[in-house]
Amino acid sequence: MRKAAHAPELLKLQKLQKPIQLDLDLVEEKLREVLGAGEGVAGEVSDHILSGSGKRLRPILVLLVSRLFPRKQDHAITAAVALELVHTATLVHDDAIDDSALRRGRVTVNARWGENISLIFGDYLYSRSFMLMGEAGLHDAMRVVASATHLMTQGEMLQWERRGDLDISEEDYLRIVRHKTASLFSAACQVGLSTCEDGDGLARDVVSYGEHLGVAYQMVDDLLDFVGAERFLGKPVGGDLREGRVTLPLIRALQGADEKERAEFLGLIRSGGLDNGGWPEIVNFVSRNGGIEYCHQKVRQHGEAAKLALARVESGDALQALLAIADYVIGKRE
């Protein structure tokens, strides 16, 4: 959900984008058209957002899935823009909720304009997304995105409810991930398919692909918070734990630790060790008790499941790119 791509990662993504580069150029053009219409503070915040664009992974999924069958290109472009607006809205809201100062190495809307503007601007992005889909007559896409945003808010509330809970179960962690992250990945795939003239028979397949891909993507994000390089992440390592999010590597390590180690770890956390030079010790605890390797295994499982979900799709450039995206997610290390 939140890390910046460094140069090798961007190069990998650029290769994956080749089949849809012209479409992506149109998406960027339309994004600037939509966000450039804002006035006053809305215009200032829009300029800030556009100047720090991310990987556009969700629009890429929309566009690639739309190419599995004959499609309406203008609908696919509009749908891709709508998904990116929703994704951006979630990031702006997340930064306000977490009081984050940096995202992708840049000052957040929250840090520059404050919590109130962040929340209002996030709502502004949501409304622009649904206006776009409504004006284009993309009613199926609207239904899918509405359902995804509902799940995302449920995931956000569950995450807030379990904030700081070191006894959170893996099952609850997965519920949060599926609702908060994977729902928009699967929605992107569904929306892409909805712009095709004939693709209903593959709806379940692309939804499964998107969900498994989204789970793997979030697990990698959570893993990199322990083992990633800060200069590449665009924010300090350990941010999840500092903000009260207990993720899979730590959940697994706490399950694997013996009673003495667990007690020592809890003592370190309660004594403020996280902010007093104790981070290397925390990472060592997670690694020593199998949290890192277990998370790697789960990432690979979900990545392979994503690829397997597309087994019935006819071979072609779009399919190969979708499979390569799953491999890209599995292989992320920084």
The ranges of the chain with pLDDT < 50 are 1-7, 231, 334
Answer yes or no: is 275 within a domain: yes
Tokens matching residue 167: 């006894």
| Domain span at 51 | 7-331
Kindly report the number of other CB atoms within 10 A of residue 284's CB atom.
10
Answer yes or no: is 2 within a domain: no
Phi (first) and psi of residue 71, to 5 degrees? -145, 170
For residue 12, what pLDDT is reported? Answer: 65
Answer yes or no: is 240 within a domain: yes
Number of domains in the chain: 1
Answer yes or no: is 202 within a domain: yes
CATH for 39? 1.10.600.10
For residue 233, what pLDDT is reported? Answer: 54
> Would you call 106 helix, strand, or coil by DSSP?
strand
Answer yes or no: is 309 within a domain: yes
Contact present, 212 and 174 (Cβ < 8 Å) = no
For residue 237, what pLDDT is reported? Answer: 74
**CB under 8 Å to 261, separation ≥6 — which residues?**
285, 289
Answer yes or no: is 1 within a domain: no
Answer yes or no: is 167 within a domain: yes
Answer yes or no: is 205 within a domain: yes
